[in-house]
Amino acid sequence: MIGNVILVDIALFAILLAAALGIAHTRSLYSAAMLAGLFSLTCASLFVVQDAVDVAFTEAAVGAGMSTVLFLGTLALTHSRERVTPPTRRVPALLVAVGTGVLLIYASLDLPPYADPANPVQQHPLTERYLQTSQQEIGVPNVVTAVLASYRGFDTLGEVAVIFTAGVAVLMLLGRLRGNAAGSPGTAPAGGLQGEHRVLRVVAKLLMPFILLFALYVQFHGDFGPGGGFQAGVIFAAGIVLYTLVFGLGHARAVVTPGILRMLLPLGLLLYAGVGVATLLLGGAFLDYNALSPQDPVQGQHLGILLVEAGVGITVAAAMILLFYAFAGRGARS
């Protein structure tokens, strides 16, 4: 059993290494970007092997999906071939990289053995608390969601703040803001595949509802299975991206207008923080969901997790779509 796992691991790592070296070697940035997408996807499967389904899900959605799209969008706006790297840059880089590696190998000599139940990580009271007690305290089968949204809910708030920051920053750098209005449907549907792509449009039309439905499913099924606000948001965004690619930026902007997005982006974060404020006002600590329904704490936890996951989903979806719009819109203008 464990042997097969090792084999799978090694196979996946072989692919990863190949992809990484390919990125290092190729000078065509498009293929480099695609290789990066492959890299992320393989990572995702590796995470599945290592029981991190939520992470795998996220990685597949973000690494293989969103960031690849962003990379391609950037390349569409810039050069797609890179200069030959001069050796003067290579030697120091190699030294630094190898130095770091050596330090890590040195560290690994005293790291606890891989996957050993006797590891400090597994022995720490945290494990017991999260894997057993959480059922009475929170009652959410997907422990990752429980920890993410409740035990370390504050970290997740920070995470939402990070994605919010990215949204704001990219908006500030690339965004076409009020003043030069977004293209209305029909006018210059930039980046869209036009005319004879009947097949594409039909299929896209067919799939769109399912994608969005799936996003909602992931959003609200996060308590019981892999998923949650973050994955849901990304999937939703992916749907819009597909729509934009097929029907053009103009239509997409008409369907999901930047104005709304710029409202939703902060609203999600406000919702999340607002839950915290509510708990404060109800006399609990910040983000202490028990305060939401004192008589039945577990109920409170459920409510709180639902709300904050919604907040995460809203902000992430809005941020991702805004990012994509920002890049695509840049292309449409230049």
Partner 1 sequence: MTANLPALQVLIPLLAAPLCVLLRTPNAAWAVFAAASACSFVFAIGLLLTLPAAGSISYAMGGWPAPFGIVYVIDAANAWMLVLVSGAAVATAVYARVSIAAEIEARRIYLYYACLCLCLTGLLGIVSTGDAFNIFVFLEISSLSSYALVAMGRSRRALLSAFQYLVVGTIGGTFLLIGIGLAYALTGTLNIADLHARLPGADNRALIAAIAFIGIGLSIKMALVPLHAWLPGAYGEAPSAASLFLAACSTKVAVYALLRFLFSAFGIERSFAVLPLTQIGLLAGSLAMLVGAAMACLQTDLKRLLAWSSIGQIGYIVAGFSLATHDGLRASFLHLLNHAVIKAALFAVAGMLVLRLGSARLEALAGLRQRLPLVFAALLLAGLGLIGMPLTAGFVSKWALVQALIAEAQWVIVGAVLVSSLLAVVYVGRVVEIAWFREPSGATTAIAPIPLSMQLVTWALVLLSLWLGLDSALPAQLAGNAADALLGGPR
Partner 2 sequence: MIASGYNYWMAMALLIVGLYILMSHANMVKKLLGLSVFQMAVFMLYISLGKVRFGTAPILDSSITVYSHPLPHVLILTAIVVGIATTALGLALVVRIHEAYGTTDEDEALALDRKPDAP
Partner 3 sequence: MTVVLVASWALITAGAVLALTGALGLFRLPDFYTRTHAASITDSAGASLLLLGLLLQAESFAVGIRLLLIMLFLLFTSPTAAHALAQAALKDGLKPVLGRAARR
Residues binding partner 3 (CB under 8 A): 193, 196-197, 199-200, 203, 206-207, 210
> What sections of 26-86 are H helices per DSSP?
29-49, 53-59, 68-77
Q: Is 90 in the site for partner 1 (CB under 8 A)?
A: no
| The only residue of 287, 289, 330, 332 in contact with partner 2, by rule CB under 8 A | 330
Q: How crowded is residue 27: how many other Cβ atoms within 10 Å of its Cβ?
A: 12
List the single partner that 277 binds among partner 3, partner 2, partner 1, none, CB under 5 to 8 Å by kind. partner 1
Q: Report the first-to-last Cα separation within the chain, whole angstroms.
A: 56
The pair of structure tokens assigned to 289 is: 């969901």
Contact status: 280 vs partner 2 (CB under 8 A): no
From candidates 183, 226, 258, 311, binder to partner 2 by CB under 8 A: 226
Burial class (CB in 10 A: 0-12, 13-18, 19+), 14: exposed
Residue 230 binds: one of partner 3, partner 1, partner 2, none (C-beta under 5 to 8 A by kind): partner 2
Per-residue binding string, partner 1, 163-202, x by CB under 8 A, is -xxx-xx-xxx-x-xxx-----------------------
Stretch that binds partner 1, among 2-10, 36-44, 99-107, 183-191 (CB under 8 A): 99-107
Q: Is 332 in the site for partner 2 (CB under 8 A)?
A: no
Q: Which of 75, 188, 148 is nearest to 304 (CA)?
A: 148
Q: Which residues pair with 81 in a beta bridge?
A: 28
Quick one: CA dihedral 238, 244, 250, 254, positive or negative? negative
Q: Which of residues 13-32 bind partner 2 (CB under 8 A)?
A: 13, 16-17, 20-21, 23-24, 29, 32
Residue by residue, DSSP assigns 73-99 as: HHHHHS-SB-PPPPHHHHHHHHHHHHH
Cα dihedral 265/269/275/280 (nearest 10): -140
Q: How many CB atoms lie within 10 A of CB 283?
A: 9
| Closest CB to partner 3 among residues 206, 281 | 206
1 binds partner 2, rule: CB under 8 A: yes
Residues 280-299 as x/- pattern, contact with partner 1 by CB under 8 A: x---xxxxxxxx--------
**330: Cα within 13 Å, side-chain hemisphere:** 18
Choices 83-91, 100-108, 196-204, 212-220 (CB under 8 A): range interacting with partner 1: 100-108
Q: Which of 126, 188, 216, 260 binds partner 1 (CB under 8 A)?
A: 126
Candidates 7, 85, 202, 257; binder of partner 2 (CB under 8 A) is: 85
Q: Contacts with partner 2 in 126-155 (CB under 8 A)?
A: 126-127, 130-131, 135, 141-144, 146-148, 152, 155
Minimum CB separation of residue 233 from partner 1 in Å reads 16
CA pair distance 107, 93, nearest whole angstrom: 21
Give the closest residue to 319 by CA, choosing from 154, 118, 161, 150: 161
* Dist. CA 299–CA 216, nearest whole Å: 22
- Output 246 or 261, the one with its CB closest to partner 3: 246
**Part of the chain binding partner 1 (CB under 8 A), chosen from 26-34, 64-72, 73-81, 150-158:** 150-158
Cα separation, 173 vs 322, in Å, equals 12
Residue 111 φ/ψ region, left for φ over 0, alpha for ψ in the -120 to 50 degree band, beta for the rest: beta
Short-list 44, 38, 66, CA closest to 324: 66
Report the residue from 222, 228, 243, 262 that binds partner 1 according to the rule CB under 8 A.
262
Binding residues vs partner 1 (CB under 8 A): 103-104, 106-112, 119-127, 129-130, 150-155, 157-159, 161-162, 164-166, 168-169, 171-173, 175, 177-179, 262-263, 265-267, 269-270, 273, 276-277, 280, 284-291
